[in-house]
Amino acid sequence: MDVTTHTGTRLQDRVAIVTGAGQGVGEGIARRLAEEGATVILAARRAETGEPVAEAIRAAGGIAECIVTDVAKGDSVQQCVDETVRRHGRLDIMVHNAFSGAVPHLLHEATMEKNWKLMSKTGVWACFFCARAAYPHLQQSSRRGTGLGGGRLILITSPSGVEGSANIALYSPAKAAERAIAKSLAREWGPEGITVNCIAPVAGSPALAIAFERNPALKDAIEARTPLGRVGDITKDIGSVALFLASDDSSYVTGQTIVCDGGSFLGL
Amino acid sequence: MPSHATTINSQLGDVPSHARVIVVDIRDTPSLAVDLTDDKIQELWEQPIQKVITELQDAHSSGCTRIVVVTPLIGMSGAAGYSAQAAVAEAARIVVKSAARQWGKNGIVVNAVALESAAYGIDESIAGPVSIAPRAMTNEVSAKGIVQWLCSEAAGDVTGQTFIVDGGSWM
């Protein structure tokens, strides 16, 4: 496992929760936030994935802990938030990244049980769970004033949530819903100083690595259609966008989706 | 009292047998995100979006070649107090694109019409205006014309698109 180096102070004294941080994009975001001084709670479904990432962050001088969390259950998300605040006294940044159930299917053959419910639960329901559990603490963070906090909700969506998907038909509406939630909460929470934004990444996640293994031509195809000619790095590319949205630098940005995919989708 | 979706549907006119119009059915009751209990999420998000998916599948299995989904504009604009309904609206708009991509090779075209949220009973004083600019037109709007065209043979080369009918609020 790569060692993250604790280098900055842009999120010093801030506390962040990142769901699905045991691997992939969530791991990259957790590492990047920790590099800039945030105390990071890795809300992972399995300790076997969350703990090693937390250990690696600590080994590099960062502050990180794993709290086993099932984002498909509202009680579990609430417990994670409560425990975070009990241990660290505050919560400033909530990142919902976890997502399960995206397997290829045709829309006309899809069933709710097999192809929809898990994506809806881990994607959309979990957005609401994260929002309602984190809200009072994000509100408190914003009341601390510029430079001292600022509530941030960051949702990880997908380019497919904008342009539809030919392979995973129902993945797209689940991810689209997250963008609409972000815009709605940006309006709802704006007067409180809380910002809500989305990132739509294409990055070297474990899921993408498996897809490349199954279909070696896919990597070439993605790189060929991407102006920057490569797949994004979970920490340097995606984590850095999350860092921007989590930091004071983005205090006047809300309700937006940043498509972070090397320029392969240019439709906004 | 009929739902807003029923009223909107009744205003769209008859469509050819090869066409299907699906009007997204959302509740007009606002609810802050912190007040969204599991029961409310089920009612405001899960049930309406599953209905849209099921109706799309039914249109496909019925052999329809022109499918139009009418959905409220709040999916694109977001709406304070209506986050669950906005999620349904945008999910419906984007599943149209997946359907268009998957079914296009079979000659099935699928499009969306985003209708101004007032038609769905959304209270703009709570939701917030869709744009900082004023609405360009002052007349009442109807989705009938664009829906009829999208259901016609003339629209056979148009798929995966969203047509906004709101009198020029969202541009």
Nearest to A164 among B41, B50, B94 (CB): B94
pLDDT band at B167 (very low <50, low <70, confident <90, very high): very high
Please, what is the average pLDDT of chain B?
96
* Residues of chain B contacting residue A116, judged by C-beta atoms under 8 Å apart: 50, 53
Give the mean model confidence (pLDDT) for residues B75-102: 98
SS3 content of chain A, % helix, strand, coil (to 5): 50, 15, 35
Q: Which of A99, A125, A135, A171 is catalytic?
A: A171
Is residue A171 part of the annotated active site? The answer reads yes
Which pLDDT score is estimated for A4? 52
Distance CA A214, CA A173 (A): 25
Contact B79, B85 (CB under 8 A): yes
- What sign has the CA pseudo-torsion A10, A98, A137, B130? positive
CA of B74, closest CA in chain A: separation in Å? 8
Question: What is the reported pLDDT for A2?
Answer: 52
- Give the pLDDT confidence score for residue A143 in this predicted structure: 85
Q: What percent of chain B has pLDDT over 90?
A: 91
* Residues recorded for chain A: 268
Position B84 scores a pLDDT of 98
CA atoms within 13 A on the CB side of B139: 3
Closest residue, chain A, to B73 (C-alpha): A180
Other C-beta atoms within 10 Å of A63: how many? Answer: 16
Residue to test with chain B: of A124, A187, A194, most B Cβ within 10 A: A187
**Which residue do the tokens 């990055």 mark?**
A203
Collect all residues with Cβ–Cβ distance below 8 Å to B171 and sequence separation of at least 6.
B131, B133, B136
pLDDT tens track, chain A, 268 positions: 454 556 789 999 999 999 999 999 999 999 999 999 999 999 999 999 999 999 999 999 999 999 999 999 999 999 999 999 999 999 999 999 999 999 899 999 999 999 999 999 999 999 999 999 999 999 999 888 766 668 999 999 999 999 999 999 999 999 999 999 999 999 999 999 999 999 999 998 887 888 788 888 888 888 999 999 999 999 999 999 999 999 999 999 999 999 999 998 887 6
Candidates A73, A105, A183, partner chain B, best to mutate (most B CBs within 10 A)? A183
Helix (H, G, I), strand (E, B) or coil at A102: coil
Is B97 in Cβ contact with A172 (below 8 Å)? yes
Tell the residue number behind the tokens 């000659």, with chain if given.
B107
Q: Please state the ipTM of this predicted complex.
A: 0.97
